[in-house]
C-alpha cells in the first residue's frame, strides 16, 4: 500500500508591497537629479521592502531592501560627481579666461621717477 501524496503548497504570489517597491526604485532612478525627489522614492521603496518582509515575503523583501540601498548610494555618487564636476569645470574655465586676459589684481600702479630740484 502506498502512502497518500504530500500536499504541495501553491507558488507564492508576489506581494503588492514588492511590486510597489520596485516601481518606486524605477521612479527614483528617473527623478534622482531633481533635488531630493528621487531619494524620497528610494525611502518609500525601503519601507515597502520592510512591509514585504513582515508579510512573509522575506527573500523578495530583502532583495528589494538591498537594491534600494545600492540605488541610493549609486545615485548619490552620480549626483555629487556631476555637481563637483560642473563646479570644477567652471573654475577651470574662469582660470583660463583670467590667464588669457592677464588680469593682475595686486599689481602696483606705475610710478614716475621724482626729480630733485636744487
Domain ranges of the chain: 16-75
0.85 exceeded by pTM: no
Q: What is the pLDDT of residues 4-27, one digit of tens each?
A: 888 877 766 667 889 999 999 999
* C-alpha span between 116 and 111 (Å, rounded): 15
CB 17 within 8 A of CB 61: yes
Q: What is the pLDDT of residues 30-84, one digit of tens each?
A: 898 777 788 899 999 999 999 999 988 889 999 999 999 999 899 888 888 888 8
DSSP letter at 9 equals P
Is the predicted pLDDT of residue 110 greater than 80, yes or no?
no
DSSP letter at 103 equals -
Amino acid at each position: 500500500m502506498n502512502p497518500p501524496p504530500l500536499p504541495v503548497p501553491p507558488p507564492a504570489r508576489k506581494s503588492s508591497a514588492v511590486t510597489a517597491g520596485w516601481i518606486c526604485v524605477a521612479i527614483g532612478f528617473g527623478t534622482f537629479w531633481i533635488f531630493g525627489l528621487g531619494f524620497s522614492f528610494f525611502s518609500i521603496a525601503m519601507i515597502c521592502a520592510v512591509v514585504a518582509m513582515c508579510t512573509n515575503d522575506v527573500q523578495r523583501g530583502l532583495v528589494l531592501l538591498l537594491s534600494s540601498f545600492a540605488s541610493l548610494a549609486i545615485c548619490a555618487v552620480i549626483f555629487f560627481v556631476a555637481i563637483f564636476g560642473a563646479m570644477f569645470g567652471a573654475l577651470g574655465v574662469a582660470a583660463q579666461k583670467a590667464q588669457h586676459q592677464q588680469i593682475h589684481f595686486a599689481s602696483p600702479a606705475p610710478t614716475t621717477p621724482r626729480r630733485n630740484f636744487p
